Amino acid sequence: MVALNYIIGHLLSPFSRGFFGPLYAVISIFFLGYQFSFSQLENNSPSLRFPAYDDRSSSPLFSPETEQSPYLSGDFLKKPLDITDPSLNKEGPSINMEEQEKFLDPGDFYLSKLKGKGAEEGKDPNKFRTNQYMGDYRIDGDKARIIFRDHEYPDGDRVRILHNDQVIQPNVLLIERFVGLTVALVPGFNKIDFVALNQGTSGPNTAEVRVYDENGEMTASNQWNLATGVRATYILIKE
């Protein structure tokens, strides 16, 4: 458009004086109006638009569905818990610890493991040579569901489990994730003993235990620190 104005002005410049002056003015006004109309058409032409992509997963307000604990619903309430997995009889944990805990910074994982191991190594096993009574609890239903894990550094701790002085699991390896079993209750008192078979490689035998009834209601939750040969005892009273 600028080039067109230049050409027209160059051609008409000889006529811009004298008799042709008014004619030059009319022609100039005509071309200026044409230029203005053309520029308006350019400005009003539709622009290219792209539809917005709705990706809720990238939005800070999007909350994914939380995974429900298997110990509170589903098969936990339908099938007996079982710890006869052959991998639990190995000398050490069979799971990949890096896969069990997810951290935004991988260094946090190893730091937490070092702190856990240091906490166990700093404990004096002589302080844990007394049997521990974990309490008595009333429980509804015919069965108790008991889960347990090594709540500190998984270092090969093992326990024997007894129900009313009868061995129901002779040798269980405590690992980082929960494992468990289902115990058929008798009317009245049910004594559940956990006997420490060793102290692992870095301190006392450490565990976290949770007891649930048939409806998935947690009845008891405790932790222990035991020297080898010492036991932790629960009394479950079947109503």
CA distance 195 to 199: 11
Q: Is the pLDDT of residue 138 over 70?
A: yes
Contact 156, 173 (CB under 8 A): yes
pLDDT at 90: 46
Q: Read off the pLDDT band of 155 (50, 70, 90).
A: confident
Average model confidence (pLDDT) across the chain: 70
| Percent of the residues in the chain that have a pLDDT greater than 70, as a whole number | 47
Q: Read off the pLDDT band of 27 (50, 70, 90).
A: low
CA distance 135 to 142: 20
CA distance 229 to 156: 15
Delimit the domains of the chain by residue range.
2-37, 80-238
pTM more than 0.85 = no
Q: Is the pLDDT of residue 158 over 70?
A: yes
